[in-house]
Amino acid sequence: NSMPIASPVRTQAIVNRYFMHAKKNLGQNFLVDLPAIKGIVEAADIQPGDQVIEIGPGIGSLTEQLLLAGAKVLAYEVDQDLPEILNNELPQKIDGEELKDRFKLVMKDVLKANFVEDNDGFLDLSKSVKIVANLPYYITTPIIFNLIKSDLDFSSLTLMMQKEVAERLVAKPKTKEYGPLSIAVQSRMNVRLAEEVKSTSFMPRPKVDSAVVVLTPLLEKPDINDYAFFDHVVKMCFAQRRKTLANNLKTLIKDKDEREKLINDLGLDVRVRPEELTLNQFVQLAHLLKDRQA
Ligand code: SAM
């Protein structure tokens, strides 16, 4: 079959042939926009021989393009209707290789992944992998934090998500999107917005537009030794985002003078609002608070 799975005609044919219906509770919105998919493959900079872990291959629209770009793909999926479709519809020969030598499907919730065990020698996990996914949107942030916490050696995460979430991930200080999620992610990874994708590129159409974000390891890690404490401090600072930082710090420091001294120690005005602080200022703030506790 020469038409890509991502073409609307081929997708519709697959839907008809297998009596498929997209499962909303699994976040199934299939991409039917080949240029958008090629945009993902390009954002991930897929080269022949690359090792990819894909989350949620669906009917294989993105998987197919990853394979054609030369990748070897380990994929996580939970919908039991899909193995048959993927095995039948993905190209049976890629660069002269059998599908089974280039594609392995793990039927498992990616949030419960044990990458080494699940991989079972398919990819060479002593070398780095790239994560690529058109995510199930209902679990976007748990998936991101799970991947960051895992001991997988990955060189990048290229993830399609809901545009609003993407905007929060890349947000800079002094914008309304900037908040605990921006800071939690930016304190762990480099974040770049690669492409925006309209809801009309999916079947069925989601209610929201989407965007592709590329996360790569930080070259220079911020000076954070206790991420749980750091995340907690940031959350407290934004508990009431319209109020000043001083006001939000009330829960952590009872005494007003002490609160104001701490803010001055950061070189900030006592009327500063949480969204005005840079990542580094939050890092310093967490250190000062930790020192106070000690
Ligand atoms: N990659 C396909 C595409 O671009 O057309 C499908 C993307 S669709 C937005 C998300 C996919 O993730 C669905 O196929 C869904 O069944 C799968 N999925 C949902 N929850 C999952 C989970 N916990 N673990 C792995 N896959 C999941």
Work out the mean pLDDT of the chain and round it to a whole number. Answer: 96
Contact predicate 105/97, CB 8 Å: no
- Residue 1 has a pLDDT of 60
For ligand 1, the distance from its centroid to the CA atom of residue 22, given in whole angstroms, is: 10
* Average pLDDT for 170-189: 98
Q: Tens digits of per-residue pLDDT, 124-151? A: 999 999 999 999 999 999 999 999 999 9
Contact predicate 141/165, CB 8 Å: yes
ipTM of the predicted assembly exceeds 0.90 = yes
For ligand 1, the distance from its centroid to the CA atom of residue 242, given in whole angstroms, is: 36
* Average pLDDT for 102-125: 98
Ligand 1: which of 20, 31, 77 to mutate, most ligand atoms within 8 Å of CB? 77
Res 200 pLDDT > 90: yes
Ligand 1 contacts CB of residue 140 (under 6 A):
no
pTM of the model: 0.96
Ligand 1 contacts CB of residue 58 (under 6 A):
yes
Ligand 1: which of 85, 108, 134, 205 to mutate, most ligand atoms within 8 Å of CB? 134
